[in-house]
Amino acid sequence: MAIDVSNETDVEIDELELIDQADFMMARLHINPAAELSIVLVDEVQMAVLHEQYMDEPGSTDVLSFPMDELRAGTPDVPSVEGMLGDVVLCPEVARRQAETAGHPFENEIRLLLTHGILHLLGHDHAEPEEHQVMFGLQTQLLAEWEGERNKRGSAS
């Protein structure tokens, strides 16, 4: 999978870990191996501009997703079609505050937001209670699987 990370902030982020996680998520969701994803990290000012321009809401936010070819998750037998999945835009400054409030590490918040953003690119939403249950259930499952994979890799090295 072609996964590009662009960090336009001063915040240090493990870009290879973002790529590994995105690759893992896309494989678990049976996204075509030729699909493309872009992950962009921006500061609060830039995020506020994007949030207002595209969502018509003031202030910054934690994550925005911009789907391109409207790809959907595939199945083990039939992966999604090829194409551009889209862009996930993350704001590390907002993520850091949310992590502090939630009482977990900043890296966990970034992983959660990346997963959330990828699910939005695949057409998931959480506006309605049923959608919320499906999306957040899948998000929790994928994060748990990713943590398990990370732990296996850590013990293997």
pLDDT tens for the chain, 157 residues long, are: 799 999 999 999 999 999 999 999 999 999 999 999 999 999 999 999 999 999 999 999 999 999 999 999 999 999 899 999 999 999 999 999 999 999 999 999 999 999 999 999 999 999 999 999 999 999 999 999 999 988 888 765 4
For residue 151, the model assigns a pLDDT of 86
Report d(CA 90, CA 153) in Å as an integer.
Answer: 26
Instruction: Spell out the domains of the chain, with CATH numbers in brackets.
Output: 2-156 (3.40.390.30)
pTM, to two decimals? 0.95
Report d(CA 116, CA 106) in Å as an integer.
Answer: 15
For residue 155, the model assigns a pLDDT of 65
Which tokens sit at 131? 């959608």
Q: Is 46 helix (H, G, I), strand (E, B) or coil?
A: helix
For residue 145, the model assigns a pLDDT of 96
For residue 94, the model assigns a pLDDT of 98
Residues sharing a CB contact under 8 Å with residue 118, sequence separation 6 or more, in sequence order: 22, 25, 26, 29, 37, 65, 85, 88
Report d(CA 96, CA 118) in Å as an integer.
Answer: 20
For residue 153, the model assigns a pLDDT of 81
